[in-house]
């Protein structure tokens, strides 16, 4: 997405510069627990205190009714299922949002089995299952700040050594649960992330699930995650992971997991899997508190230098909000701050464009004089620039230098959790279009709402283009016609691009363009005064 944005901004700047200076985008693998010998890996962890040791009566897997047990605290509403003893769903109460991940930190061996609820005190939930050979205990410990610790203890209760053959299902993503309000135009932000010891493996735009997504790679896996626009479910296994797989179960479900080493467990002995789960907002502070490496899941751009710029802006917005306590005013404050930093470049750009425009009549004369001698024409134009101390790139370069900041701001204002559900003036949610007036009809492209901020942006940019026309002299009728077309076309084009974007993003650009227009008017008047004196 940032590549398309970068290209769009670049093309827009090029168009502006050209017009102003010249004319003015499993079935689960077979579940098996056998006595077959495998490469032995002995693990003799004993069952911890409080685990159920006595055989528990079990109903056949096909005959029981699924029962949901809930844990409700300040951060979470977590629903556990007796089917597999797994997490069925997690709702973030503060955000009224159900995460798309389920079956987090589970094994494929016992997915369909009936587990008995052993404990639920709203901080710890424990399930147990037993058959003739195995006793399985799943224990969940709910911690503050969106962290859940999970422990799966598997004990061999038979009289002979048993080989445990299982797949570790880190999590299952159900894309039908995704919040369509936040994702309808943001599928590019839905991605899985695999952190290995050496690098990160990312796949975005998880919208269409088909066999093309299936993959298996042998890497030292440290953690896996799935994130959408604002939220992430991240799982860190404590047991060594030598590979990972991506498996599409259906058009709506995607499994992320790994193959576990075959483990021989002696009679009466047990093996334990442990996990840390972070399921919550993409907040750098909270992610880092959960684990220092978790903040790496949150990137604003795949281009490292651009991501660094965006993260600095994200941090700066947080600092401003601590003093202002209003996200709308914080956006206005950062607009003023960024424009102040960029002001010297803006002055340089406008001054350079003014000088280039002043040379247009002389350039036209040279073009007429050497129209049949391109080599001589180029030499004469270079000499004209040298004599008048004008660099033809000096008007465009300042705008290009501003692009990383513009794109970084765009990414932060577009996908930061800061603005979700935050209101300002008539804007009910800074993460959504301002939807000021509901129309009695639906318009193509625009939809059924009138959004005021993009309309204000069009008006401000039209005024800015009008200032450009007054300060620049067209040397031909074609240039004059192109200037007029630009004054109409460019503001409308920008308005359409931003019409359905978040109101927080549009608020920033309205303020920025307003400041830019006022400054341009002031600088242009100062340059005219300097020319007259």
Interstrand relation of 134-143 and 244-248 (parallel, antiparallel or unpaired): unpaired
Q: Which residue has the tokens 């960029």?
A: 342
Averaged pLDDT for residues 433-443: 81
Measured distance CA(71)–CA(123) in Å, rounded: 8
Give pLDDT tens digits for 287-340: 999 999 998 888 887 777 888 888 888 888 889 998 888 999 999 998 888 888
b/e per residue 313-339 (b: at least 16 CB within 10 A): bbebbeebbeeeeebbebbbbbbeebb
The neighbouring-strand residues paired with 89 are 79
Beta strands of 249-355 (E only): which ranges? 253-259, 263-265, 270-281
Q: Please give the helix or strand (H or E) that residue 411 lies within, else none.
A: helix 397-415
Read off the tokens for 146.
């969106």
Single pTM value for the model: 0.74
Give pLDDT tens digits for 91-138: 998 888 889 888 888 887 788 889 999 999 888 999 999 988 899 999
- The mean pLDDT of the chain is 78
Sheet holding 32-34, edge to edge: 32-34, 162-165, 263-265
Nearest Cα residue to 216 out of 189, 197, 240, 242: 242
Q: DSSP per residue over 317-339, as a string? A: HHHHHHHH--HHHHHHHHHHHHH
- 68-298: CATH topology: Beta-galactosidase; Chain A, domain 5 (2.70.98)
Domain residue spans of the chain: 2-24+305-355+397-527, 68-298
Dihedral in degrees, nearest 10, Cα atoms 47, 157, 277, 256: 160
Higher pLDDT, 348 or 80: 80
Query: Has residue 184 got a pLDDT over 60?
Result: no
CA 16 to chain centre: 29
Higher pLDDT, 13 or 482: 482
CA atoms within a 13 Å half-sphere pointing along the CA-CB vector of 315: 8
DSSP structural state of residue 110: G
Nearest Cα residue to 524 out of 466, 461, 479, 458: 466
Query: Has residue 230 got a pLDDT over 50?
Result: yes
Give pLDDT tens digits for 186-196: 677 788 888 88
Sign of CA dihedral 382, 384, 390, 392: negative
Higher pLDDT, 233 or 300: 233
- 443 φ, ψ to 5°? -100, 145
Query: Has residue 32 got a pLDDT over 70?
Result: no
b/e per residue 420-459 (b: at least 16 CB within 10 A): bebebeebebbbbbbbeeeeeeeeeeeeebbbbbbbbbbe
Cβ–Cβ under 8 Å, residues 75 and 94: yes
């Amino acid at each position: 997405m940032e590549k398309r944005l970068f290209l769009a901004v670049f093309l827009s700047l090029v168009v502006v510069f050209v017009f102003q200076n010249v004319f003015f985008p499993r079935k689960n693998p077979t579940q098996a627990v056998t006595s077959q010998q495998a490469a032995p890996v002995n693990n003799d962890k004993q069952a911890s205190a409080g685990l159920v040791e006595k055989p528990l009566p079990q109903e056949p897997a096909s005959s029981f009714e699924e029962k949901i047990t809930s844990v409700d605290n300040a951060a979470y509403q977590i629903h556990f299922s007796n089917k597999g003893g797994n997490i069925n769903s997690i709702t973030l109460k503060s955000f009224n949002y159900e995460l798309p991940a389920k079956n987090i930190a589970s094994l494929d061996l016992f997915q369909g089995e009936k587990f008995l609820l052993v404990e639920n005190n709203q901080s710890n939930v424990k399930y147990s299952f037993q058959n003739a050979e195995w006793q399985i205990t799943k224990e969940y410990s709910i911690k503050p700040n969106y962290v859940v610790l999970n422990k799966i203890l598997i004990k061999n209760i038979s009289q002979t050594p048993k080989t445990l053959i299982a797949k570790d299902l880190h999590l299952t993503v159900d894309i039908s649960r995704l919040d369509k309000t936040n994702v309808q135009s943001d599928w590019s932000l839905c991605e899985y992330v695999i952190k290995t010891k050496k690098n990160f493996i990312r796949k975005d735009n998880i919208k269409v699930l088909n066999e093309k997504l299936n993959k298996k790679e042998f890497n030292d896996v440290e953690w896996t995650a799935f994130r959408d626009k604002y939220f992430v479910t991240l799982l860190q296994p404590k047991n060594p992971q030598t590979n990972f797989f991506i498996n599409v179960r259906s058009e709506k479900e995607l499994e992320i997991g790994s193959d576990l080493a075959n483990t021989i467990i002696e009679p009466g002995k047990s093996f334990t899997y442990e996990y840390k789960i972070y399921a919550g907002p993409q907040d750098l502070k909270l992610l880092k508190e959960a684990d220092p490496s978790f903040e790496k899941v949150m990137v604003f751009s795949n281009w490292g230098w651009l991501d660094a710029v965006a993260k600095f802006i994200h941090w700066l917005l947080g600092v401003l909000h601590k003093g202002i306590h209003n996200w709308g005013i914080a956006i206005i404050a950062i607009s003023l701050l960024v424009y102040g930093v960029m002001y010297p470049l803006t002055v340089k750009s406008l001054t350079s464009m003014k000088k280039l425009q002043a040379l247009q009549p002389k350039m036209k004369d040279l073009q007429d004089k050497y129209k049949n001698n391109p080599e001589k024409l180029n030499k004469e134009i270079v000499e004209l620039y040298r004599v008048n101390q004008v660099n033809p790139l000096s008007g465009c370069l300042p705008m290009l230098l501003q692009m990383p900041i513009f794109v970084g701001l765009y990414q932060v204002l577009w996908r930061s959790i800061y603005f979700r559900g935050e209101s300002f003036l008539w804007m009910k949610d800074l993460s959504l279009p301002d939807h000021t007036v509901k129309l009695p009809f639906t318009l193509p492209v625009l939809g059924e709402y009138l959004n005021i901020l993009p309309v204000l942006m069009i008006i401000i940019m039209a005024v800015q283009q009008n200032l450009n026309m007054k300060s620049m002299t067209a040397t031909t009728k074609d240039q004059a016609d192109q200037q007029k077309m630009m004054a109409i076309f460019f503001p409308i084009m920008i308005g359409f691009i931003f019409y359905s974007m978040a109101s927080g993003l549009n608020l920033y650009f309205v303020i920025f363009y307003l400041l830019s227009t006022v400054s341009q008017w002031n600088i242009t008047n100062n340059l005219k005064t300097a020319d007259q004196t």
